[in-house]
Each structure stands twice: as C-alpha cells, then as structure tokens.
Amino acid sequence: MPVRKTIISFLLSFILFAGFVSAETPAEPKHSAFRSVPFTNVHFADSFWSPRLETNRTVSIPHNYKWCEDTGRFTNFAKAAKLMDGKFEGIYYNDAGVYKVLEGTAYSLAQHPDPELEKRADAVIAWITAAQQPNGYIYTFHTLNEPHKRWTEIGKHELYCAGHLIESAVAYKQATGKDTLLNVAEKAADHIIDVFITNQTAKFEVPGHEEIELALVKLYQQTGKEKYLKLAEHFLDIRGDKSKRTDKLAGARSQDHLPVREQKEIVGHAVKAMYLCAGVADIAAYTGDEGLIAAMDSQWNDTVKRKMYITGGIGARHEGETFGNAYELPNRTAYCETCAAIGLVFWAHRMNLLTGDAKYADIVERLIYNGILSGIGLDGRSFFYVNPLEADAEQTTRHDVVKNAEHHRQPFFVTACCPANVIRFLPSLPGYQYAVDKDNTLVINQYFTGKAKIGNSEVDMQTDSPWNGKVRVNICGGDLSQKSLTIKYRAGAKYETKNITPGQAFEIHLPCETKRIIAHPQVKNDNGRVAIQRGPIVYCFEECDNPRQKINAAVTEIKLAKDPQFRTEFKKDLLGGVTVIKCRDVAGKELTAVPYYVWDNRTMGAMTVWVRQDGLDEKRPPDTGELLYKEF
C-alpha cells in the first residue's frame, strides 16, 4: 500500500498541476519518425474503396443504427437520463457499440457530409449527454442496474466503454467541429481520474479490457491536457506489476500477468492485446521509453513470425478468443476475430509512425484487403465475427446469434463489437494513406485514388490498385513542392525514395503477379500446401466456383499441378468487380480462385485458402527460415 500511495501521490500532484497550467496545445510526439496526415485531409475517389465507403454510409451505418434501436442500445441512454421508463436491455458493455457507431458516423461525415445522418447522430448524442451523471459517470448498465456496484468489478468494462466514448468524441469533434460529445468525454475522463487517482475509490486498478489507454492519448492530442496522457501512462505502468498494485492481477488473458515492459510474447485475448499494444506505442512516441519499445519489438516479432495467419488474422483459439502457441494456426477452427484484425491495424499503424519502418504499413495493407474486409459482406449488412481459412457446408462454429450455426454471414450479433468496429474502421481508412517525416518529406503508405491536402500542397493519386500495380502521383503547390523534391513510397515492406519535379506527375509500379506461398514447416496444418496471393490479395477456392461434380473432389481436397498455369481475368460484374485467378489441378481440371474477402457472398458452401501442391512433400516441408510465410 505505501508504494502505491507514493505513486498515486506523485501522479496526482502532476495531474493537478498539468490540468491547471495546460495551454490546450498538445506537444508533438517527439520520438515518432512520422506524423500521420489526418483523415479529414484525405478524400477518396477510388473505384475499389469509394463504393465501399458509400455502402458503409448508406447501408452499413443505418443498418447498425437500426439494430441499436431495436436492441435497446440507444434507449438505454434515454432510460438512464430518466427521459423514458424501462430497464436496461442487452449485455452490460452495450454502450461501447453505440460509441463505435457514432465514431464511424464521424469518419463518414468527414468524407461525405450527410445532414440527415448527422442529425441522427446528434439525437443520440443528446441522450448520451443527458445520461451522464453530475459527477461525470456514464455507463448505463450500472446507472440502471445495481448503481452501488460502480467501479467494483474489473470485468464489467466501464473503462472499456469510456475509451470508446472518448474515441467517438474526438472523431466527432474533428469531423463536425461540435463539442457536445467531447465535453461528455472530458467530464467522464476527469471522473476516472477522481476515482482511480485522487480518491482511489475504485476496487480495481487497471482496465479489464484495454482500450482507454489509446483513447486517453487521443483526448490529450485533441485537448492538450497532459493529465489525460499521464493517466494512460499510469494504467500501463502498473499493469501486471504486483509491486504497484493492491488488487489481484487479472492474468495472462488480460495481459495482466507481468509488467508491460517484461511482456515479450503476445498472449491472451487477441483484441485486448492489440488495444494494449496500440496504447503502448502511443505512449512510447511521447516518452521514448526504451523498455516499452523493446517489449513492442519482441511482441511484434512473436505476432508476425509465429502467430499471424496469411490474411493478417490473429487469435487462433475460440476458447477465450486468444492467441495459441507459436505456429498454432489451424485453418478450419481459426478464430480470427474481425475486431482483432482491426486492432492489429491500430498497433501496426502506430508502430509505423513511431519507427518509420515500412514493414508495419505492409501488414496494414495485408489486413485491410484480407483479414478485415472479409468481416463485412458486399451488401453492407452481413458480417463475420470469426474468419476461418477453411470451411465446409456442414461446418459449425461459435456464433452469438444462434448456437451451432453454419458459418455464414450474420446481420448482427448479441455481442456486436465486430459490425460496429468494421463500420468505424472503413471510413477511417483515409487516415492511413499518408504521413510526413521530420524533414517534411511526404511518405506514401497505402495506395488509394483520391486527393489529399498536406500543408499548402495537394497530392493527387490515381491507381487501380489492388488489381493493377500502376500508380500515378502528382504534387502541386505549397509546402511539399517547394521544400521537398524527394518522396518516400512503400514498396512491400520497405521504403523507396524518388526525386520528383514539382507539378509533374510521376509513376510508381507495384508488383502484382500471382504467387504461391508456403508456410513455416511448424505450421503443421499447411505442410504440403500453398496459398495463392496476387498483389496484396489472398485468394481462396469456393465450392460454388469449383463444384465436386466439375473437379471430382471437394475444394478442401484440391491439389494444384506443378505448373498451375495461372491466368487472371477481371470480372466487373462478379462480386462487386474482382480479378479471378484460373489455374489447373494435378488432373488438369480448371479451377477458379476468388479473393478471400468475398467468400460467402453468394451461397453457403465449402471454402479453403490452403490447397495441396503437387511436388510438395507434407512430411518434408521446405524451410522458410525465420519467415512465417515465403514465396514457393
């Protein structure tokens, strides 16, 4: 207890002082190599992504609003505000879904102003504002149900919901300029400082589900109030450290088994781990803490070299929604929660900004075209919670809607984190395209058609990526064209530099050939098998394209010829417009592969990513060195 009191007393003094003298201007993260160009400065006009963002605005977001209305998620706030009678509806953490829907609304409004959608969001925000208690507390489950249990149970997700409130508030302020939700978020954060630092009345000391750490950094960046940054740092510093805690550690599933700086392996609940790592990278950007950076380096290597699927998916085990052991990457029973893939993007993006290393942005690309995009159907109103790499027509998997349901896209889930996460992530994509380094050099991380305002300059990119590797870029006017004739662009997992003439378009050519990929020999499920990848897109074989009566085998039994004779064809009327890959099996039968992200958009049936390869010995798989995946 004395150690904790000393730590808290110091932090309290700092927070009170920082809150008093704040100039409302956040410091730059001086240890970051790059600064991200904000989503509000980048606008898509992309044949691949723009239609998806429009579907997100016109279908997916309204669909999620409707489900929030029908399941009582919105009215829980009205009830908490005593604007209507009734009991709490749903699961205790349902508030978080509402905040994510509002965050997605904010990103969408930044790309496409929509007065009706904004009006709808403002009405929900009015209920949220009214539901906040005078002391700043806002969590409708305890306001309506067992209010005496506030801040007594680590597993009730009060801090997790507060984190999503903060994220939505910051995004809504940036997109619309409106302060109402931001004021609610600040008041909530100040209340958290009161119960965790000032008066220490909370019965637990760290978040049960990480999220608020990265959110508090965003709140600091928006308001300039350093007390929020320090609170985030406090939560990280005492996590997993018995010497600084009086409560019971929550264990490895919650990354609360060791001090953060001593955590060298990625373990536990995959989404929790990703949100924690994203928050750690944020704090390291401000502090330069070598212990945190070393822990992130070690956990990153453990993730991408031993525990990540070729789609970028993570979290092998259904039990506990957790990572498995090294190389434990089953295909049919893969969990690969959509939220975990989104969380990995959050972490990877922050590591890219922190270190300036292109390998992190390369993983972002893998995820957005595969592990995340698979999570939402082309109709914009059907979703995957889990994303296996193999399925058959009789396969059953864990679902929140119907137990033992066939693996098929669902309109919503009782635990609806994934639909809301997807609809907030997709319209935030413009914020991942560009960065600027300390020398004011433009950095191109992702390839989307559209325009960006960077300083006084306009960057115009034209590309048919991911189907075509040709990219055309033009920079006109202002800062960049006057001060920098060199740009950095990502080519796979490294950066290339290019000298440019201001005002004249230049081209980048990205590789887009069809490749076969093998996995590390310790990934036993993939021994003797290959996956097909073209550019950033991972492909799969669906039963509807390769019926048994045509190929004389189930898709899970496909065996490619030594020379599969790959050929590609773009089909604009198939699955929203895709490049399909035609090839031959060992018997000479023609096979058709489609992008993994579009599977189960036509009819239920078998699917596989990894297929047997003639010439590959299952018992003597090729060595891949330290690489988890390697070209065959």
Crossing angle of helices 212-223 and 270-287, rounded to 10°: 40
pLDDT digits (tens, 9 = 90+) for 495-512: 999 988 878 899 999 999
Dihedral (CA of 547, 549, 555, 558) sign: negative
pLDDT digits (tens, 9 = 90+) for 590-615: 999 999 999 999 998 999 999 999 99
Tell me, letter by letter, the H, E, C secondary structure of 74-109: CHHHHHHCCCCCCCCCCCCCCHHHHHHHHHHHHHHH
Mode of pairing for the β-strands spanning 442-444 and 514-519: unpaired
Average pLDDT over residues 455-467: 95
What is the structure's pLDDT at 154? Answer: 97
CA max distance for the chain: 76
pLDDT for 404 beyond 60: no
What is the structure's pLDDT at 430? Answer: 98
Q: Using DSSP, how many helices (H) and how many strands (E) does the chain show?
A: 18, 23
> What is the reported pTM?
0.95
Which pLDDT band holds residue 401 (cuts at 50, 70, 90)? very low
Q: Edge-to-edge, what's the strand order for the sheet holding 42-44?
A: 42-44, 450-454, 457-463, 470-476, 506-509
Rounded distance between C-alpha atoms, residue 251 and residue 242, angstroms: 11
Average pLDDT over residues 132-136: 98
Cα dihedral 37→39→41→42 (10° resolution): 100
Residue 389 three-state SS: coil
Q: To the nearest whole number, what is the mean pLDDT of the chain?
A: 93
What is the structure's pLDDT at 10? Answer: 43
Cβ neighbours for 297, distance < 8 A, ≥ 6 positions apart: none
pLDDT digits (tens, 9 = 90+) for 31-65: 999 999 999 999 999 999 999 999 999 999 999 99
What is the structure's pLDDT at 123? Answer: 98
Q: What is the DSSP letter of 275?
A: H
- Count of Cβ atoms closer than 10 Å to residue 380 Cβ: 21
Element housing 388 (H / E): none
What percentage of the chain carries pLDDT values higher than 90? 89
pLDDT digits (tens, 9 = 90+) for 70-121: 999 999 999 999 999 999 999 999 999 999 999 999 999 999 999 999 999 9
What is the structure's pLDDT at 384? Answer: 96
